[in-house]
DNA sequence: TGTTCAAGGCTGGACCGTAG
DNA sequence: CTACGGTCCAGCCTTGAACA
């Protein structure tokens, strides 16, 4: 029984899921502040704050930040100068790529890009895939994988020669380095996170422990590849920093082993509502701890915010939302969903989750 | 409220060139 | 030869605005 179960599902850390939608909140989210440069006794940081929304316990405060410890004084001055010349307001309105195109220095451009698009659905897909591998490899939080296998699982196609395109390879290295380099600052006990003076923890999603280059003639530097070039190592060994797995504390959510992390051709990861909804539902399973483990009632306002459905046309937002629910229903994660008549004009949605595809650990 | 239209952002794959 | 680097652009999808 237990082994069958393990074949069909894999555990993803509960604390990570609780914080994931917040940690990856986009620039359009009203709780998100624009990036700032900050220095304190410990060093320099480029950081983005996500403020808590006190009307809902799950909308906790999180800071995501890139430590800039290896910057020279000149680089720090240049970074400050580039930062001052940025029009951060139009960056949100006109798109991130557009907003950053004036920055000449590629490293600075990529730094902002990494922070602004942190934990987008493509990166979340990578994280899910790594938790699945951790379960298969049974080596605790340590996972070893071949880059090409990961690209394959993300649904990318190969060139005529059989390799992957330089741009996708490069994006993968940048994603991995972002998951390694960006630190999350959050309350140690998320459920009490809004209290003043709460103890904080600082963690990355993963740490890259080592990597391999099979063609020895290539000389590869992880940071340089992420900051300046289009390179990718052939394999990586990483350690998942949020990891309870199936250990005795048992704080996790089981995901279906056939979870789809492929990137759809022609589509755009920031519009991957299906992955956002899946993760948000998993997150709410941890926050709400429903007695039956199946029924979740979530206000539409918070659903829309966490799906980044923040456009001005509410009927269109509704269309996209229900289309997304339909997708997860087709995949079997959701057994049913219905809109509950709203108290004071705040309608909510009741979901019935399929415990065979998504199930929290017993509380 | 929902539809239609035009404009434009983001992604990845085609193509081609280059370095080692 | 393979992997990297750059340019171009089609396809998907969203957005704001106008309108029924």
Q: What is the DSSP string of A162-184?
A: SSB-HHHHHHHHHHHHHHHH-EE
**Other CB atoms within 10 Å distance of the CB of residue A5:** 12
Structure tokens at A209: 């422990």
**Confidence at residue A1, expressed as pLDDT on a 0 to 100 scale:** 40
Distance, Å, A208 CA → C18 C1': 52
d(CA A198, CA A166): 45
Nucleotides of strand C within 7 Å of the protein's CB atoms:
2-7, 10-18
The answer for A162, left when phi > 0, alpha when psi is -120 to 50, beta otherwise, is left
d(CA A319, CA A338): 14
- Does the pLDDT value for residue A2 go beyond 50? no
- Does the pLDDT value for residue A72 go beyond 80? no
- Residue A96, CB, less than 7 Å from strand B? yes
Give per-residue pLDDT as tens, A346-361: 789 999 999 999 999 8
- Does the pLDDT value for residue A165 go beyond 70? yes
Contact A52, A59 (CB under 8 A): yes
Nearest nucleotide by C1' from A98 CA?
B9
What Å distances lie between residue A321 and A91, A97, A311, A353, CA to CA? 25, 26, 12, 16
Residues 184-203 of A with CB under 7 A from strand C: none
**Other CB atoms within 10 Å distance of the CB of residue A306:** 23
Taking the C1' atom of C1, which residue's CA lies nearest?
Answer: A161
Distance, Å, A234 CA → B20 C1': 18
Q: How confident is the model at residue A194 (pLDDT cuts 50, 70, 90)?
A: low
Q: How confident is the model at residue A199 (pLDDT cuts 50, 70, 90)?
A: confident
- Residue A311, CB, less than 7 Å from strand C? yes
- Does the pLDDT value for residue A275 go beyond 80? yes
d(CA A149, CA A158): 12
Contact A300, A348 (CB under 8 A): yes
- Does the pLDDT value for residue A273 go beyond 50? yes
- Does the pLDDT value for residue A290 go beyond 80? yes
Decide: residue A37, CB within 10 A, 0-12 exposed, 13-18 middle, 19+ buried: middle
Place of tokens 């589509």: A267
Taking the C1' atom of B9, which residue's CA lies nearest?
Answer: A95
Radius of gyration of chain A measured on its C-alpha atoms: 20
- Does the pLDDT value for residue A195 go beyond 90? no
Please tell me the least confidently modeled range out of A2-6, A85-89, A145-149, A357-361. Answer: A2-6
Contact A242, A131 (CB under 8 A): no
Specify the pTM: 0.93
d(CA A211, CA A145): 10
- Residue A170, CB, less than 7 Å from strand C? yes
Place of tokens 């960056």: A91
Distance, Å, A321 CA → B6 C1': 24
- Residue A171, CB, less than 7 Å from strand B? yes
DSSP classification of residue A241: S
Residues 315-334 of A with CB under 7 A from strand B: 315-316, 318-319
d(CA A320, CA A313): 11
d(CA A311, CA A327): 21
CB-side neighbour CA atoms (13 Å) of A128: 28
- Please list the residues that pair with A184 across neighbouring strands: A64, A203
Nucleotides of strand B within 7 Å of the protein's CB atoms:
1-4, 8-15, 20
Contact A256, A123 (CB under 8 A): no
Q: What is the mean pLDDT of chain A?
A: 88
Nearest nucleotide by C1' from A265 CA?
B12
Q: How confident is the model at residue A7 (pLDDT cuts 50, 70, 90)?
A: low
Nearest to A124 by CA among A340, A293, A224, A274: A274
Structure tokens at A205: 């999603």
CB-side neighbour CA atoms (13 Å) of A174: 24
Q: What is the mean predicted confidence (pLDDT) over A217-237?
A: 87
Taking the C1' atom of B2, which residue's CA lies nearest?
Answer: A315
Contact A303, A280 (CB under 8 A): yes
Nearest to A233 by CA among A145, A119, A142, A124: A145
């Amino acid at each position: 029984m237990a082994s069958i179960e393990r074949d069909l599902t894999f555990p993803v850390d509960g604390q990570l899921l609780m914080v994931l939608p917040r940690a990856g909140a986009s620039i359009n989210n009203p709780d998100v502040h624009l990036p700032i440069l900050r220095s304190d006794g410990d060093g320099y940081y480029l950081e983005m704050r996500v403020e808590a929304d006190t009307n809902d316990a799950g909308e906790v405060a999180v800071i995501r930040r890139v430590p800039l410890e290896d910057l020279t004084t000149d680089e720090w001055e240049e970074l400050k100068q580039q930062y001052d010349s940025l029009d951060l307001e139009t960056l949100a309105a006109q798109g991130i790529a557009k907003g950053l195109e004036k920055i000449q220095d590629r490293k600075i451009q990529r730094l902002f890009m990494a922070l602004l698009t942190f934990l987008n659905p493509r990166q979340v897909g990578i994280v899910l895939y790594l938790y699945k591998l951790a379960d298969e490899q049974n080596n605790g939080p340590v996972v070893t994988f071949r880059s090409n296998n990961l690209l394959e699982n993300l649904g990318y196609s190969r060139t005529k020669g059989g390799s992957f395109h330089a741009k996708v390879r490069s994006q993968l290295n940048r994603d991995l380095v972002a998951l390694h380099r960006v630190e999350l600052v959050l309350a140690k006990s998320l459920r009490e996170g809004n209290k003043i003076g709460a103890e904080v923890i600082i963690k990355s999603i993963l740490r890259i422990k080592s990597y391999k280059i099979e063609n020895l003639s290539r000389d590869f530097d992880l940071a340089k590849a992420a900051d300046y070039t289009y390179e990718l190592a052939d394999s990586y060994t990483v350690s998942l920093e949020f990891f309870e797995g199936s250990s005795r504390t048992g704080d996790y959510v089981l995901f279906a082993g056939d979870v789809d992390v492929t990137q759809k051709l022609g589509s755009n990861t920031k519009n991957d509502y299906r992955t956002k909804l899946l993760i948000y539902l998993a997150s709410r399973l941890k926050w709400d701890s429903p007695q039956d483990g199946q029924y979740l009632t979530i206000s539409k306002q918070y659903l829309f915010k966490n799906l980044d459905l923040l456009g001005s046309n509410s009927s269109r937002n509704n269309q996209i939302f229900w289309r997304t629910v339909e997708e997860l229903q087709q995949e079997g994660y959701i057994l049913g969903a219905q809109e509950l008549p709203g108290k004071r004009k705040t309608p909510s949605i009741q979901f019935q989750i399929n415990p065979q595809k998504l199930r929290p650990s017993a509380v």
